[in-house]
Structure 1
Amino acid sequence: MMEFTPFSVKVSDEVLTDLDRRLASTRWPDAIPGTGWTYGTDLGYLQELIAYWKDQFDWRSFEVRFNKFPQFTTMIDGQRMHFIHVKSPVPDAKPLLLLHGWPSSPLEFLKVIGPLSNPAAHGGRDEDAFDLVIPSLPGFAFSGPTNDAGWHPGRIADAFAELMTGLGYDYFFAHGGDFGSVLAGQLALRHPDRVSGLHVTFLVTGGLRPEDGDPTPEEAQLADDQAVYNMVETGYLALQASKPQTIAYSLVDSPVGLAAWIVEKLNTWTDNGGDLETVLSKDEILANIMTYWVTATGGSSGRLYFETAVAGMMGPSAKRVEAPVAVAIFPHELYRATRRVAEHHYNVVRWTPQAKGGHFPALEQPEFLATDIRDSLRAMSGVPAVDGSAG
């Protein structure tokens, strides 16, 4: 029987004191005046963020907020797994696995926990309530670092299926963005008898097939946009998929290096109109960065790209996901496709364009995301009855 140990975040004073010392002794690089984010992370913005981190950010307050949610750890396949487990006050609520990606952690979902677990208290309906299981991916934050090789999406999906079994859930839904979407797909492929349906915001698809004929104007524009993105925005992916240990030294030893690596992605991948803090506050940005710093997982999290590449799982799966799949289309998502392309790879039953939002919709547009998850999973018909839970 799987054992669950209650967990709460409590970083030692020594770690925080050491962080202050490192922030105070930063040696800054030069930057060409007026280049902004063109060459990478903007120097002026990063200096402003680091000053706030050192003098104003209150990690202890965040610990209090995070620890309001029930958290546990367990061992699966030799790896410690951390997860939040919020049981709905509604009897017979449906189990829902929420899966984050890189560079993120379970805190990405804090804003949607209430609306999904207790929708009636947030303008929704009791019948849309979910029991929520929100794990840290192996190698990320409080599930890290990993201590052996081979933690690719298939192995992680198997571990999460085992976690859901241990919690007493025979069937469950899954939501994911970024790598969370990849993991959701692997769960449906490897455990089709367990997954009642998927909700994703990120698609891994190929191009058109010969039988599709010519691309539509929308598809042609998406292909052009993707070519530009691949040329200028995927250096991080190439490095983490080939030599993750090289960047790990900087990410684990330098808080400013870690912040620069992550905040550049937050700036590029969010729908922010040129101002990151219109969608994410400094506190939200730094809380996310801190989950990597205090656990020394900036390096091990990047290994997920390497393991995925080595396993031959970086592109779309050779098998189609036959579980019902609902897709929320946020306009600033990294990889976009049309429904007819997506349907080659997924059994798409719902396709819902959103008014605004990017790669982290649970942080950027939590109301849009929670509403679409509830509407989508309610609309999925013919799913098995779901059991209650333990844990």
Structure 2
Amino acid sequence: MSSHITPFRVEIPQAALDDLQTRLDLARFTDEVSDAYGVSVSRVRRLAEYWRNGYDWRAWEARLNAYPQFTTDIDGQRIHFLHVRAAREDALPLILTHGWPGSIVEFLDVIEPLSEDFHLVIPSLPGFGFSGPTTEGGWGTVRTAQAWAELMERLGYDRYGAVGNDAGSMVSPEIGRIAPSNVVGVHVTQIFSFPSGDPAEFVDMTEEEQAAMGVLQRFWEEMGAFNTLHSQQPQTLAHALADSPVGLLGWNAQLFDHDLDDDFVLTNVALYWLTGTAGSSIRMYYENAKAAPLPAEPTTTPIGLASAKGDFESIRRFAERDHKNIAQWHTYDTGGHYAAHIAPGVYADDVRAFFSGLLQG
């Protein structure tokens, strides 16, 4: 298999943008009794109207193209990535992994501060964005982590850190498990460790831990439908997402908080639409649901958490069961699920402090 790395630029054909404009012009909106049933019609209408008459894809395309981008084939799949090198040749490389419904756009605001101290590799997940639709099944967390380890080796990096948000918070620890001699540390915004069902795990839970459990329970009871559908029948939903930009907007907007700016939301949604990856991206949930369980042994690579209030609330007693080397645990009042975008300074400082501590230690 070729290990060739090809320079890449984002160049969406004007015909694709014209087609998008036509579909937005002809959009049909559903009825609504109240917004208690999910993403509101008023929000989708407002975002769709801005997408039609104000949003500038070409400006965001230029912003992406301000950074070096490349593609390479790994394990039969095209992989797209940004590669921004620090001025210092001996800087530690980091591989930053996004999630769904995010994209590489999650990390644009931290490229400048982080590239002062680190070489940055920011890939599009297989089946997401410019990595293109997946060409076969099996692209879940573990296979992606294996591909990322291969990517870093292909780039000549034999010692690096793994950073992630959302799905990236699942992929990054697995890179450490797959390549423990190469990964110096793992920095994530969520540690997805859940109760095993053993009653002993709930003994002496603090009020804070009980509150976090309540947040988790409410999320799955009130917001977990997307995960169930993606895990069971992603193709059934994919037909609608591939045909309607407003449908895609409504579906993906459920996990874009209201405090996010419209340009950030629309750029992420537009990236899925313009690359035809709405359907292939959600297949990752199916692949993970059908995959063999992750190894029962805890990870040993140093891991650091930078969580934000209002996002998934990691519970340390469960995290310590799954990760034996928790080197940093921070919770911030700001940031939300997309901390690298909402609070880039706080996020970049936490990443820098984590890896600096490891290197100095």
Normalised by the size of structure 2, how large is the TM-score?
0.96
Question: 2:98, 2:166 within 8 Å by CA — same for their partners in 1?
Answer: yes
Match of 1:357 in 2: 335
Find out whether 1:163 has 2:151 as its counterpart: yes
8 Å CA contact 2:242, 2:273 repeated in 1 = yes
Alpha-carbon distance in structure 2 between the residues aligned to 1:61 and 1:134: 20
Cα distance per residue 1:55-112 (max 9 Å; x no partner): 1111111111110000000000100000000000123110000010111111110000
1:382 Cα deviation (Å)? 7.2
User: Map of 1:2-41 to 2, 5 A cutoff?
Assistant: 2-32=3-33, 35-36=34-35, 38-41=36-39
1:353 maps to amino acid: T
Structure 1 partner of 2:141: 153
Question: How far has the Cα of 1:319 moved from its partner?
Answer: 2.0
Q: Which residue is 1:123 aligned to?
A: none
- Whole-angstrom distance in 1 between the partners of 2:210 and 2:46: 40
Is residue 250 of structure 1 aligned with residue 228 of structure 2? Answer: no
Counterparts of residues 294-373 of structure 1 (less than 5 Å): 294-313=274-293, 318-334=296-312, 336-346=313-323, 347-373=325-351
CA distance in 1, matches of 2:222, 2:155: 43
CA distance in 1, matches of 2:336, 2:203: 30
Q: How do 1:179-198 residues align onto structure 2 when only pairs under 5 Å count?
A: 179-198=167-186
Trace 1:64-79 onto structure 2 (pairs within 5 A).
64-79=62-77
Superposed counterparts of 1:256-275, under 5 Å: 256-267=246-257
Matched, 1:219 2:199: no
Instruction: Measure how far apart 1:224 and its partner are.
Output: 1.9
Structure 2: unaligned runs, 5 residues or longer? none
Q: Counterparts of 2:122 and 2:283 in 1: how far apart (Å)?
A: 21
Change in Cα spacing, 1:337 to 1:202, as seen in structure 2 (3 Å) is: closer
1:381 offset after TM fit, Å?
4.5
1:317 touches 1:345 (CA, 8 Å); kept in 2? no
Partner of 2:111: 113
- 2:308, 2:336 within 8 Å by CA — same for their partners in 1? yes
Q: Write the distance in 2 (CA, Å) between the matches of 1:9 and 1:226.
A: 38
Distance 1:196 1:382 in 2: 12
Matched, 1:138 2:126: yes
Q: Which amino acid aligns with 2:127?
A: G
2:49 to 46, 51, 59: 51
For structure 1, the 5+ residue unaligned runs are: 119-128, 268-275, 384-391
Q: Secondary structure at the match of 1:322?
A: coil
Deviation by residue 1:243-284 (Cα, 9 ceiling, x = unmatched): 0001101111100000001112102xxxxxxxx2xx422111
Equivalent AA in structure 2 for residue 13 of structure 1: Q
For 1:198-255, what per-residue CA distance to the aligned partner results, in whole angstroms no more than 9, with x for missing partners? 1111111122752773211111121122111110110000000000001101111100
**Paired residue for 1:292, among 268, 272, 275?**
272
CA distance in 1, matches of 2:202, 2:19: 58
SS of the aligned residue for 2:300 comes to strand
2:91 matches 1:93: yes
- 2:358 counterpart of 1:375: no
Cα distance, 1:338 vs. partner? 3.1
Amino acid of the residue matched to residue 126 of structure 2? Answer: P
How many residues in Structure 1 have an aligned counterpart in Structure 2?
A: 357
CA deviation vs aligned residue, 1:33-71 (integer Å, no higher than 9, x gap): xx23x2111111211111110111111111111100000
Q: Which residue pairs with 1:121 in the alignment?
A: none
CA contact (8 A) 2:97 2:122 kept: yes
Q: Distance in 2 between matches of 1:312 and 1:220?
A: 30
Cα distance in structure 2, aligned partners of 1:288 and 1:317: 32
Question: Who is 2:189 aligned against?
Answer: 201
RMSD (Å), alpha carbons: 1.5
Query: Cα distance 1:317–1:382, how it changes in 2: closer, same or farther (>3 A)?
Result: farther
Is the 8 Å Cα contact of residues 193 and 315 (structure 2) preserved in structure 1? no
Please give the secondary structure, in 1, of the residue aligned with 2:79: strand
Structure 1 range deviating more: 199-208 or 73-82: 199-208
One-letter code of the match for 1:349?
A: A
Change (3 A) 1:381 1:247: same
- SS in structure 2 of the partner of residue 215 of structure 1: coil
Percent of aligned pairs with the same amino acid:
40
Where has structure 1 moved over 6 Å in runs of 4 or more? Answer: none
Distance 1:40 1:305 in 2: 21
d(CA) in 2 for partners of 1:191, 1:89: 26
Letter of the 2:318 counterpart: V
Shift of residue 317, structure 1, vs aligned partner: 5.1
